[in-house]
Every structure is written in structure tokens, then in C-alpha cells.
Amino acid sequence: MSKKVKIGGLTIGGGEKIAVQSMLNVHNSDISGNVEQAKRLETAGCEIIRAAIPCMDALRLIPAIKEAVSIPLVADIHFDYKLALESIAAGVDKVRINPGNIGDESRVKEVVDACRAKNIPIRVGVNSGSVEKGILAKYGAPTAEALVESAFFHTRLIENFDYDNIVISIKSSDLKTMIAAYRLAHERCGYPLHLGVTEAGTYKIGLVKSAVGIGSLLCDGIGDTIRVSLTDDPVLEVEAARTILKAIGLGGGVEIVSCPTCGR
């Protein structure tokens, strides 16, 4: 069983129910548009919202969204460790980083120290496009083993600074690779796992790929929080995630069974 991690007022891992996530897709300059979308997501049953923070101006989103909704907010950070520090100061409940792309170890330490001061978890997010050159050379491709080795390389960076408030995601657009990678991670560590298929696609394609990938792992007892990535309205991501959970008996509610009839 994975360890429990608290994200704002929500706890994931350790046998807690599977939390549904989504990500805002309104441009970060449109504060009111993002706030409205966040409200719609909360109403739809989203339990964790992620927002990209690509620049200092985007930090304005954090207090506006935190004031508008009661569910946890995650800052998605790439490359600039200062954006992580400022997001933490602005009140986010979690940060998503790839420690390998925010600078040297001193910068990683600054982010870890800031998270520790507020007991904010860090999601280490790796995908098939972010695997380090050395690991790629070792395996020849972004295989499941390569993805897991990359993820653990980054978690060790954080652990070296005496912090283990960590969630891991290991995503691939290739379903077999994604499933195998999460199974390996589940066998080898006790951190909560964020399940998702990267570059899942439009609604129909994305729903099928996510249902197969996420659903098969959840049926094996693997995974603590999920996001169905769609090139569409994020509310549809939430509805799709809840449909997957319901289909495997984890979502509650009433299941409607409709027989298409047969020739008997």
C-alpha cells in the first residue's frame, strides 16, 4: 500500500479513494476565464486542479483560483525554479516538477526547502519525452524500465534533501509502456502514483486509451489519483475519469445496464 500524502484538505494514497484530477486549459492571461473553468471543474466533481505556471504573470492565477474554489490547486512548473518558489509562496497545495529540468541541485534544494516549510507535496512527473540522455542511451528507447529509472533518479534528488512528501507520475502515449512502467514503479516504491496517458488525444480516442491504461492498473490495485488527458473541455476529462471509476466499481452511483439484444 502506498504512503498517504496530503494535498490541501485532500489525502491520497494509503487506501484512500481514488482522486480525480484535471488541468485548466484557458490561457494564463485570462484570469476570469480560468476562475470560471475552475468553478465548473469543481461542480463536475474534480478533486484536484492543476494550472500551468509558465511565467511570473501567471502567478496571478493562484490567489484568484484559491479564492474561487475549495479543492486543492497544483502548480505545473517547468525549467524555472523561481516559478516554483513563487507558486509556493502564493499558496498552491502542491507543485509538479521534473527536478532534472529546473537547474542544479542547489535550486532543487531551494524548492524542496520551500515545500518542507509548508508541508507541500511534490509530484515528480516524467514522460517518454523527458528521459535523460544517459538513461536513453542505456535502454535505447523510452522503455518502461527507462521511465522508472528516470523517475527514481529524480525522487532520489528530493530524498537527498531529507524530504519524502512525494507523488510520482510516469506517463507514455504508448499504452503497453505506460502500463508496464506503472507496474514496475508500484513494485519498487511506496509513493502514491498519479495515473495518466500522455498525449491521449481527442475525446473518443483519449477515453478509450485512458480506460484501457488507467482502468487496467486500477483493477490491479495500482494508482492513487487519475487524470484523463483530452484535447477538449477539461470538464469532459472529469466525466471520463468518473466513468472509468464507475465501470470498475470504484465510483459509486447506479450502473445502468442496457442489453443490445441477441439472436437467442
- What pTM value is reported for the model? 0.91
pLDDT, tens digit, for every residue of 43-75? Answer: 999 999 999 999 999 999 999 999 999 999 999
Give the domains, in start order, of the chain with CATH numbers. Answer: 5-194 (3.20.20.20)
**Can you give the pLDDT at residue 199?**
67
DSSP letter string, 135-148: HHHHHSS--HHHHH
Give me the mean pLDDT over the 125-148 stretch: 92
- pLDDT above 60 for 256: no
Buried-exposed string 180-214: b where 16+ CB fall within 10 A, e elsewhere: bbbbbbbeebebbbbbbbbebbebeebbebbbbbb
Question: For residues 22 and 49, is the Cβ–Cβ distance under 8 A?
Answer: yes
| Grid coordinates of 211 | 480506460
pLDDT, tens digit, for every residue of 137-187? Answer: 999 999 999 999 999 999 999 999 999 999 999 988 899 999 999 999 999
Instruction: Give the least confident one: 33-37, 49-53, 257-261.
Output: 257-261
Question: Which pLDDT band holds residue 264 (cuts at 50, 70, 90)?
Answer: low
Give me the mean pLDDT over the 191-200 stretch: 87
CA distance 248 to 240: 13
Question: For residues 62 and 92, is the Cβ–Cβ distance under 8 A?
Answer: yes
